[in-house]
């Protein structure tokens, strides 16, 4: 029976090509607009590490001025000072911990055909790889001892390994950065991060990090962060003054594997700050935060408000398209009341008429969905062209393809429901006498 | 009232010409009640459409109440229809979304009467057909006979000189048909000219004069209204009832 | 015209009317708010930076190796840049307006003041700074050559004299001229010697975007320096091409790059606003198209459904114009009802945006303008079907189907 209804639906749609085209276009446009924005929104805001996002916590300590809060809403600064990061790393009270900062250094390739270029480096601890779980292609991370010895070692990202060594296993070889040679201990596989969630301060959609080196080594070489640096009072002159200043310029992440560990770590932080208070720092009331990945992303508004507004508008647009389709289906089905009356008189039950017309609506939805999917592809292409920084979040994945088709069919069925209900209420007799 | 001389109506497609009316001549005097009869496809409806200015003709002359209709533009024809002609259709053609008052109001609106005059005319004509008490009802709430009465009221509201009826009882049972027929006779007695198209000989017999149309030509005239046996139609209707 | 009978006829087919009305209502609400957002973005994009944006570009030099002398190289580069043909002025600077990255600092009127009086950005510029930026001096004087000092990387800059933007001068000294006045940064005094008409901060979303300060200093950031170059009118692209070559030749032990015109910096700074405006514009067009097509579809359906009725009206004396007017009036009524609902919806939408995103209130005139636009759209959309209706022959009335 389904095949028969499908055939009837297709034939009926073919008979009114303009009306059908209008309905399909309406669904397709509405679906394309809402799916384009929804895809970007979904990928922007989606959990980048779902299996452990509740175990990774971002450390915030309120070392700000007694006279004014770091942010207007009273929340603590979004980064920590060197002395606090160093102390927390040294205490090592979490299951894993990684302090980090952004660094830009010139790379002097061995291959003389390559011009020197500047490269984006993450200075961090060896725990970083265990916490954020990029896969290694060759070698592995440096170890804690190498951290402590501030050894001159690096882990290369996949792209820079391609560039410098043609993608070969380069572990054991070295790379020269700003006149100093670093031994390569590991090479990462491709790491498709939608957002660089571990450093939101310096831009969730900024260029990806190209290599990694021990945080201790970078400090030892007196390398200043190329990222954000905020001070509420003067850092003073020179490197040593900078390290002991209350300027914040590092991100500090900890992995806490159980709620007990989280509670213990909170307590530890409170104790730490209280100790520091005795030394004359931390003039503000106790205000430590340990947000997890999703909380931190929402706090830092990774999903831009423009995207939210666009998504809202796109769904309102979809609503208009649906209303439009309801109207057109109603028009179409009302014109067929004669046929319905005839079918009823020939023995079709109300349910069969209902099924027949709902299938016709579904066909409109499916067609609209397929065209809408293609338009969504175009829409995402446009988003990538308009927002160059969103290239990692403006692509269709399978779940979104499925969602698009499902949404289109659901939308068309929803739109078809009322007209279909009206159609089945046609009395068999009413249309036949004349 | 109206005179058609050598009227011609040809439907042309790119292959064939079909004559709906061929050398059609007729004269209807003021105050007459004429029935036009003929089999299906004889040209009755074409005659009625041309008579009521719903369609144009391709040859001949047509004088309606002293106006030469030939060559009038669409607006002038609409105006003439509105002022001089009242229509009664087989399927009533009431507007289902309007109540009786508003249905009767339709031609009066196009006439451009003021609100007070329209109201007075609507009430008068609905009273005349006996439906004044149901002014706020919608057509679907009425029986077929009542609907046709509303249609008659609508036709009369603008005080037309000519009433054109197209199978006015075709969709009615015989009891209702008799009522409608009596109403038409009553209207005719009060001075309105009526031209009625029908294929029902019983009904035609009640008119003063019969015109028989076959193949788009008038084949048979009752020249003298008085020759008609006045009672046979009544008897037939009575027998069916 | 006959509004009451049309209205009462419409009330008998409420669903179709509600559907079109709803569509018009949503369209009005979305279009008004989207247009308002577009307007805001365009206004934002129009904001002047205060600098010459057509003839200027900037670039970075990043030296490496133990023997690299950033301070000496900076001076040599400035000499080299200034000697290039087509260059009007060149200076070193830590940042430029709209670039998104820079140095922020609080200025106070008193030493030891708890909260600073104004937040400013610091442009740490060498000689020819005003010329290279194209900032217009409106009061006081430019820096004197002897006022320029060298600051070691990692030390705090404490200049003797500064030049501030007019907006900052007015904020600091609303009642008198700022020239010659002392202000404090980190409790160290400095004197305002000049005021420039306008200079934007590097951050587009700053609350104090007009508050900028120029410092007469040379301060390479480690081994990196940035230069701002102003070319003769029309020669910017030519100079941009030559400059990288020139500096690398002068000292190959470095990376010269990120050569970018200020016009491109502006384009990138407002890329999101432009994208938002374009996307919303596309949504508006699509929405109006869908609504218009919806009206065409529904009106066509109504015409088809009422063919007999139209024929009857024609038979009863309606002219073609009467029929045309009937459908136009009907559309006008539906659109108006939708627009009234849409007006309320538009303000509700605006309230939500105000609440959720701190947007400004929708100005009152957007809704009436939207009314007119959608009335016109509705009338245009219904014109086709209404014309078709007016062509229904009156003879349809006598057809018995």
**Chain C residues touching B105 at Cβ < 8 A:** 5
pLDDT category, B234, cuts 50, 70, 90? very low
**Chain B residues touching C394 at Cβ < 8 A:** 53-55, 78, 81
Interface test with chain B among C7, C15, C316, by most B beta carbons within 10 Å? C316
Average pLDDT over residues C308-323: 91
Angle, in degrees to the nearest 10, between helices B100-111 and B115-128: 130
Are B50 and B2 in contact by the 8 Å Cβ rule? The answer is no
Q: Is C375 part of any domain?
A: yes
pLDDT at C86: 94
Interface test with chain C among B21, B44, B106, by most C beta carbons within 10 Å? B106
- Cα dihedral angle (C45, C50, C51, C54), rounded to 10 degrees? 40
User: Which among A227, A261, A287 is the end of a domain?
Assistant: A287
% pLDDT > 70, chain A: 98
Task: Let me know whether C222 and C325 are in one domain.
Answer: no
Give residue limits of the domains in chain B: 30-57+75-240
Q: For C99-109, how does the pLDDT look when each residue is reduced to its tens digit (9 = 90+)?
A: 988 888 889 99
Task: Indicate the range of A77-91, A214-228, C188-202 predicted with least confidence.
Answer: A214-228
Chains touching B (at least 3 CB pairs under 8 A) are C
**Number of Cβ within a 10 Å radius of residue C130:** 21
Task: Let me know whether A109 and A211 are in one domain.
Answer: yes
In the numeric block, which tokens belong to residue C95? 């940042």
A240 exposed, middle or buried (CB, 10 Å; 0-12, 13-18, 19+)? exposed
Task: Let me know whether C172 and C84 are in one domain.
Answer: yes
* Token pair 């009341």 in the structure block, residue: A337
3-state secondary structure chain A: CHHHHHHHHHHHHHHCHHHHHHHHHHHHHHHHHHHHHHHHHHHHHCCCCCCCCCCEEEEECCCCCCCCCCCCCCCCCCCECHHHHHHHHHHCCCCEEEEEEEEEEEEECCCCCCCCEEEEEEEECCHHHHHHCCCEEEECCCCHHHHHCCCCEEEECHHHHHHHHCCCCCCCCEEEECCEEEEEEEEECCCCCCCCHHHCCCCCCCCCCCEEEEHHHHHHCCCCCCCCCECCCCCCCCHHHHHCCCCECEEEEEECCCHHHHHHHHHHHHHHHHHHHHCCCCCCCCCCEEEEHHHHHHHCCCCCHHHHHHHHHHHHHHHHHHHHHHHHHHHHHHHCHHHHHHHHHCCCCHHHHHHHHHHHHHHHHHHHHHHHHHHHHHHHHHHHHHCHHHCCCCCCCHHHHHHHHHHHHHHHHHHHHHHHHHHHCCCCCCCCCC
pLDDT at B236: 34
Q: Mark yes or no for CB contact A326/C279 under 8 Å.
A: no
Task: Let me know whether A315 and A270 are in one domain.
Answer: no
How far is C72 from C304, CA to CA, in rounded Å? 86
pLDDT at C210: 95
Q: Backbone dihedral region of B191: left (phi > 0), alpha (psi from -120 to 50 degrees) or beta? A: left
Q: Determine contact: C294 vs chain A, CB below 8 A.
A: yes
pLDDT at B222: 57
Domain count for chain C: 2
Q: Is A313 part of any domain?
A: yes
pLDDT at A203: 85
| Closest-approach residue (CA) in chain A for C354 | A309
Strand (E) or helix (H) holding C215: strand C212-218
Are A303 and A44 in contact by the 8 Å Cβ rule? The answer is yes
| Closest-approach residue (CA) in chain C for B101 | C5
Start-to-end CA distance of chain A, whole Å, equals 31
Q: Mark yes or no for CB contact A324/C186 under 8 Å.
A: no
Q: Which of A71, A97, A73, A75 is nearest to A84 (CA)?
A: A97
Q: Determine contact: C257 vs chain A, CB below 8 A.
A: yes
Average pLDDT over residues A6-19: 79
Domain count for chain A: 2
Residue from the list A236, A237, A320 with its beta carbon closest to the beta carbon of C287 = A320
Q: Determine contact: B52 vs chain C, CB below 8 A.
A: yes
Q: Is C51 part of any domain?
A: no
Q: What angle is formed at CA A309 by the lines to CA A306 and CA A310, rounded to 5 degrees? A: 85
Minimal C-alpha gap between C6 and chain B (Å): 9
In the numeric block, which tokens belong to residue C53? 């944006």
Q: Is A259 part of any domain?
A: yes
Task: Let me know whether C201 and C230 are in one domain.
Answer: yes
Q: Determine contact: C150 vs chain A, CB below 8 A.
A: no
178-217 in chain B: CB under 8 A from chain C: none
* Residue-level length of chain A: 434
pLDDT at A433: 41
| Closest-approach residue (CA) in chain B for C398 | B89
Q: How many helices (H) and strands (E) in chain C?
A: 11, 12
**Number of Cβ within a 10 Å radius of residue A301:** 12
For residue C157, give the DSSP letter: P
pLDDT at A149: 93
User: Which among C252, C279, C304 is the end of a domain?
Assistant: C252
Task: Let me know whether A104 and A140 are in one domain.
Answer: yes
Q: Is C257 part of any domain?
A: no
Q: Is C60 part of any domain?
A: no
Q: Is A298 part of any domain?
A: no
Beta-bridge partner residues of A317: none
pTM above 0.95, yes or no: no
pLDDT at B225 over 70: no
pLDDT at A92: 93
Q: How many CB pairs under 8 A join B and C?
A: 94
Q: For B132-171, how does the pLDDT look when each residue is reduced to its tens digit (9 = 90+)?
A: 999 999 998 998 889 999 999 999 898 899 999 988 888 8
Average pLDDT over residues C33-37: 92
pLDDT at B221: 62
Q: Fold for domain B30-57+75-240?
A: Rossmann fold (3.40.50)
Task: Let me know whether C69 and C163 are in one domain.
Answer: yes
Q: Determine contact: B21 vs chain C, CB below 8 A.
A: no
Q: Determine contact: C26 vs chain A, CB below 8 A.
A: yes
Are C61 and C254 in contact by the 8 Å Cβ rule? The answer is yes
pLDDT at B224: 44
How far is B110 from B88, CA to CA, in rounded Å? 17
Q: Mark yes or no for CB contact A310/C276 under 8 Å.
A: yes
How many CA within 13 A on the CB side of residue C107? 28
**Chain A residues touching C32 at Cβ < 8 A:** none
% pLDDT > 90, chain A: 44
pLDDT category, B203, cuts 50, 70, 90? confident
Q: Is A292 part of any domain?
A: no
How far is A215 from A225, CA to CA, in rounded Å? 11
Average pLDDT over residues C77-90: 95
Residue from the list C12, C394, C400 with its beta carbon closest to the beta carbon of B54 = C394
**Chain C residues touching A306 at Cβ < 8 A:** 272, 275-276
Task: Let me know whether A193 and A325 are in one domain.
Answer: no
Task: Let me know whether A389 and A342 are in one domain.
Answer: yes
Q: Is A123 part of any domain?
A: yes
**Chain A residues touching C400 at Cβ < 8 A:** 434
Q: Determine contact: C377 vs chain A, CB below 8 A.
A: no
* Residue-level length of chain C: 401
Are B100 and B137 in contact by the 8 Å Cβ rule? The answer is yes
pLDDT at A134: 94
Q: Is A56 part of any domain?
A: no
Instruction: Please indicate whether residue A295 or residue A352 has the higher confidence score (pLDDT).
Output: A295
Are A383 and A40 in contact by the 8 Å Cβ rule? The answer is yes
Q: For A304-322, how does the pLDDT look when each residue is reduced to its tens digit (9 = 90+)?
A: 888 888 888 888 888 888 8
For residue C172, give the DSSP letter: H
**Range A112-149 burial, b when 16+ CB lie within 10 A, else e:** eeeebbbbbbbbbbbbbbebbebeebbbebbeeebbee
Interface test with chain A among C19, C280, C348, by most A beta carbons within 10 Å? C19
CA distances from C266 to C48, C103, C291 (A): 10, 19, 36
pLDDT at A215: 92
Task: Let me know whether A315 and A262 are in one domain.
Answer: no
**Chain A residues touching C115 at Cβ < 8 A:** 67-68
Interface test with chain C among A67, A106, A226, A376, by most C beta carbons within 10 Å? A106
Task: Let me know whether A325 and A354 are in one domain.
Answer: yes
How far is A215 from A86, CA to CA, in rounded Å? 10
pLDDT at C43 over 70: yes
Residue from the list C15, C37, C186 with its beta carbon closest to the beta carbon of A330 = C15
Task: Let me know whether A186 and A311 are in one domain.
Answer: no
Minimal C-alpha gap between C205 and chain B (Å): 58
Angle, in degrees to the nearest 10, between helices C366-390 and C320-357: 150
Q: Is the ipTM of this complex over 0.85?
A: no
Q: Backbone dihedral region of A203: left (phi > 0), alpha (psi from -120 to 50 degrees) or beta? A: left
Most confident of A41-50, B104-113, C259-268: C259-268
**Chain B residues touching C312 at Cβ < 8 A:** 87, 89, 93, 95
Are C31 and C373 in contact by the 8 Å Cβ rule? The answer is yes
Interface test with chain B among C1, C315, C318, by most B beta carbons within 10 Å? C315
Q: Mark yes or no for CB contact C317/B74 under 8 Å.
A: no
Q: Is A380 part of any domain?
A: yes
Task: Let me know whether C233 and C289 are in one domain.
Answer: no
Q: Mark yes or no for CB contact C393/B99 under 8 Å.
A: no
Q: Mark yes or no for CB contact A19/C156 under 8 Å.
A: no
Domain residues for the domain of C19 are 3-46+271-398
Domain residues for the domain of A410 are 2-47+304-424
Q: Mark yes or no for CB contact B95/C309 under 8 Å.
A: yes
In the numeric block, which tokens belong to residue C234? 């029309």
Minimal C-alpha gap between C149 and chain A (Å): 16
**Number of Cβ within a 10 Å radius of residue B13:** 7
Q: Which of C197, C206, C188, C134 is nearest to C163 (CA)?
A: C197
Q: Is C58 part of any domain?
A: no
Q: Find the radius of gyration of the CA atoms of chain C.
A: 33
Task: Let me know whether A78 and A161 are in one domain.
Answer: yes
How far is A349 from C98, CA to CA, in rounded Å? 69
57-86 in chain C: CB under 8 A from chain A: 62-66
Task: Let me know whether A350 and A395 are in one domain.
Answer: yes
Q: Determine contact: B99 vs chain C, CB below 8 A.
A: yes
pLDDT at B235: 35
Q: Determine contact: C358 vs chain A, CB below 8 A.
A: no
């Amino acid at each position: 029976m389904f095949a028969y209804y499908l055939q009837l639906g297709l034939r009926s749609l073919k008979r009114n090509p303009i009306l059908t085209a209008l309905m399909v276009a309406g669904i397709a446009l509405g679906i394309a607009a809402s799916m384009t924005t929804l895809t970007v929104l979904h990928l922007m805001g989606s959990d980048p590490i779902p299996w452990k996002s509740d175990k990774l916590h971002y450390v915030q300590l309120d070392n700000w001025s007694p006279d004014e809060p770091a942010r207007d809403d009273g929340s603590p600064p979004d980064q920590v000072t060197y002395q606090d990061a160093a102390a927390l790393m040294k205490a090592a009270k979490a299951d894993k911990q990684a302090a980090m900062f952004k660094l830009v250094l010139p790379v002097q390739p061995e291959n003389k055909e390559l011009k020197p270029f500047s490269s984006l480096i993450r200075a961090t601890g060896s725990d970083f790889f265990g916490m954020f779980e990029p896969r290694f292609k060759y070698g592995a991370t440096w170890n804690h001892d190498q951290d402590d010895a501030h050894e001159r070692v690096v882990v290369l990202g996949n792209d820079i390994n391609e560039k410098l060594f043609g993608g070969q296993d380069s572990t054991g070889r070295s790379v020269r950065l700003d006149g100093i040679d670093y031994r390569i201990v590991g090479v990462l596989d491709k790491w498709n991060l939608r957002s660089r969630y571990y450093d939101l301060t310096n831009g969730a959609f900024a260029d990806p990090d190209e290599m990694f080196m021990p945080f201790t080594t970078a400090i030892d070489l007196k390398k200043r962060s190329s990222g954000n640096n905020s001070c509420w009072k003067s850092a003073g002159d020179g490197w040593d003054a900078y390290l002991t200043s209350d300027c914040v310029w590092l991100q500090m992440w900890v992995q806490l594997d159980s709620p007990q560990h989280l509670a213990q770590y909170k307590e530890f932080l409170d104790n730490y700050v209280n100790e520091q208070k005795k030394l004359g720092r931390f003039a503000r009331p106790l205000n430590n935060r340990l947000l997890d990945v999703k909380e931190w992303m929402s706090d830092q508004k990774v999903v831009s408000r423009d995207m939210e507004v666009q998504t809202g508008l796109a769904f309102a647009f979809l609503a208009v398209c649906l209303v439009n389709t309801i109207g057109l289906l109603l028009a179409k089905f009302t014109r067929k009341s004669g046929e319905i009356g005839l079918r009823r008189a020939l023995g079709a039950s109300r349910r069969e008429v209902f099924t027949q017309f709902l299938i016709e609506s579904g066909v409109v939805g499916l067609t609209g969905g397929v065209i809408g999917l293609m338009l969504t592809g175009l829409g995402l292409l446009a988003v990538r062209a308009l927002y160059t920084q969103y290239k990692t979040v403006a692509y269709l994945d399978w779940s979104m393809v499925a969602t698009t088709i499902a949404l289109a069919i659901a939308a068309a069925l929803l739109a078809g429901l009322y007209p279909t209900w009206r159609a089945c209420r046609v009395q068999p007799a009413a249309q036949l006498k004349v | 009232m109206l005179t058609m001389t050598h009227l011609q109506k040809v439907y042309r497609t790119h292959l064939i010409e079909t004559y709906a009316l061929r050398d059609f001549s007729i004269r209807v005097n003021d105050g007459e009640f004429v029935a036009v009869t003929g089999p299906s496809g004889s040209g009755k409806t074409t005659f009625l459409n041309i008579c009521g200015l719903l369609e144009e003709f391709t040859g001949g002359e047509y004088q309606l109440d002293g106006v030469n209709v030939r060559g009038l533009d669409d607006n002038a024809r609409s105006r003439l229809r509105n002022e001089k002609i009242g229509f009664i259709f087989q399927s009533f053609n009431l507007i289902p979304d309007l109540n009786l008052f508003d249905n009767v109001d339709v031609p009066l609106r196009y006439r451009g009467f003021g609100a007070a005059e329209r109201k007075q005319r609507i009430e008068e004509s609905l009273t005349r057909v006996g439906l004044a008490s149901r002014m706020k009802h919608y057509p679907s709430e009425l029986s077929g006979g009542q609907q046709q009465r509303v249609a008659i009221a609508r036709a009369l509201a603008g005080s037309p000189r000519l009433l054109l009826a197209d199978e006015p009882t075709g969709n009615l049972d015989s009891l209702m048909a008799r009522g409608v027929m009596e109403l038409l006779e009553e209207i005719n007695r009060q001075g309105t000219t009526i031209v009625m198209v029908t294929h029902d000989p019983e009904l035609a017999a009640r008119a003063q004069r019969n015109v028989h149309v076959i193949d788009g030509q008038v084949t048979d005239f009752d020249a003298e209204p008085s020759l008609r046996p006045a009672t046979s139609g009544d008897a037939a209707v009575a027998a069916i009832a | 015209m006959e509004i009451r009978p049309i209205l009462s006829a419409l009330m008998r087919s409420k669903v179709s009317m509600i559907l079109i009305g709803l569509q018009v209502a949503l369209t009005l609400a979305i279009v008004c708010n989207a247009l308002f957002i577009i307007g805001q973005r365009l206004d934002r994009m129009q904001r002047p930076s205060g600098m010459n944006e057509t003839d200027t570009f900037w670039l970075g030099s990043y030296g490496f190796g133990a023997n690299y002398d950033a301070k000496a190289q900076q001076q040599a580069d400035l000499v080299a840049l200034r000697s290039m043909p087509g260059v009007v002025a060149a200076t070193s600077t830590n940042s430029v307006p709209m670039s998104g990255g820079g140095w922020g600092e609080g200025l106070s009127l008193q030493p030891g003041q708890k909260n600073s009086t104004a937040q400013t950005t610091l442009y740490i510029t060498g000689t020819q700074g005003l010329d290279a930026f194209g900032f217009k001096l409106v009061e006081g004087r430019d820096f004197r050559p002897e006022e320029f000092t060298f600051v070691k990387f990692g030390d705090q800059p404490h200049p003797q004299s500064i030049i501030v933007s007019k907006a900052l001068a007015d904020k600091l000294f609303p009642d008198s001229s700022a020239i010659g006045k002392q202000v404090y940064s980190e409790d160290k005094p400095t004197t305002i010697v000049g005021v420039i008409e306008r200079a934007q901060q590097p951050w587009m979303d700053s609350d104090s975007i007009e508050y900028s300060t120029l410092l007469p200093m040379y301060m390479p950031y480690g081994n990196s320096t940035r230069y701002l170059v102003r070319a003769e009118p029309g020669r910017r692209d030519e100079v941009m091409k030559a400059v990288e070559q020139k500096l690398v030749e002068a000292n190959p032990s470095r990376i010269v790059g990120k050569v970018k015109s200020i016009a491109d910096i502006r384009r990138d700074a407002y890329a999101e606003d432009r994208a938002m405006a374009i996307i919303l514009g596309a949504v508006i067009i699509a929405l109006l198209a869908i609504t218009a097509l919806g009206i065409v579809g529904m009106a066509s359906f109504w015409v088809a459904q009422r063919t007999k009725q139209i024929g009857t009206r024609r038979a009863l004396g309606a002219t073609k114009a009467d029929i045309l007017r009937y459908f136009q009036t009907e559309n006008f009524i539906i659109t108006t009802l939708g627009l009234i609902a849409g007006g309320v919806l538009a303000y509700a939408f605006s309230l939500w945006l105000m609440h959720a995103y701190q947007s400004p209130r929708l100005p009152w005139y957007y809704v009436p303008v939207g009314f007119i636009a959608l009335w016109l759209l509705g009338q245009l959309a219904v014109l086709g079907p209404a014309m078709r209706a007016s062509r229904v022959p009156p003879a349809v009335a006598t057809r018995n189907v």
